[in-house]
Amino acid sequence: GAVVSQHPSWVICKSGTSVKIECRSLDFQATTMFWYRQFPKQSLMLMATSNEGSKATYEQGVEKDKFLINHASLTLSTLTVTSAHPEDSSFYICSALTGTYGYTFGSGTRLTVV
Amino acid sequence: LAKTTQPISMDSYEGQEVNITCSHNNIATNDYITWYQQFPSQGPRFIIQGYKTKVTNEVASLFIPADRKSSTLSLPRVSLSDTAVYYCLVGASKDSSYKLIFGSGTRLLVRP
């Protein structure tokens, strides 16, 4: 139990376009979800905390207008990278608190901006 | 949030037991210790969680001394597929207000 599905697993987009990444809790309700980014050979860096029905809380240094987070339901949170640039290329991972199993992570999304 | 310190990397051979130690000197009374495993281009996967003494599951054991300022993840008889990055995290993991902050992790390489 406690599966988090993340989609797409990889995406390539052109500079200046926007990309949406979805994170779904499949068999539980996730009031709180977290978004991370990870550069090659580095650890996960927390970007923001997504709360159902309210605004996301962003970590210091993360541009909230660039990384739009929407958590409109108890099973879906989305991260939209707006006006993407090559430096936004990274591995994005979502996580949800399951209540029973602690934190479960999605499989990640590899974003490449060309 | 308690900061954790782990070795950056470790090498081992197939069939050996691997012990990865994590220091968390500022652990709080209600903090749990959780270990995750991450393969390249995948999200972290839960391995084991404990509060004190020893916890064992089908893949690993977690040893926590009485002062809880450190913990040791023990992987018995590792195989090549155990090559991954291992992260130690501390916090009140069942608290929805708690954020998982990752440290550098330990990159384990298992050789044939």
Q: A52 Cβ partners below 8 Å, 6+ apart?
A: A30, A31, A32, A71, A72, A73, A74, A77
**What are the beta bridge partners of residue A36?**
A46, A93
Give pLDDT, residue A53.
Answer: 85
Query: Tens digit of pLDDT for each residue in A22-75?
Result: 999 998 888 889 999 999 999 999 999 998 888 999 999 999 999 999 998 999
Q: Within an 8 Å CB–CB cutoff, is residue B94 touching chain A?
A: yes
Which residues of chain A have a CB within 8 Å of the CB of B93?
97, 102-103
> Is the predicted pLDDT of residue A99 greater than 80, yes or no?
no
- Mean pLDDT value across residues B56-75: 97
Segment B27-47 mean pLDDT: 93
Q: What is the mean pLDDT of residues B25-40?
A: 92
Residues 57-86 of B with CB under 8 A from A: none
pLDDT tier at B96 (50, 70, 90 boundaries)? low
Contacts of B87 in chain A (CB under 8 A): 43-44
What is the per-residue pLDDT for B9? 97
Q: Is the pLDDT of residue B1 over 70?
A: no
Instruction: Provide the chain A residues 28-67 that lie in CB contact (below 8 A) with chain B.
Output: 31-32, 34, 36, 43-46, 49
Residues of chain A positioned with their CB less than 8 A from the CB of B104:
43
Q: What pLDDT is attached to residue A62?
A: 96
pLDDT of residue B97: 60
Residue A112 at interface with chain B, using a CB cutoff of 8 Å: no
pLDDT > 70? residue A101? no
Which residues lie across from A20 on neighbouring strands? A80
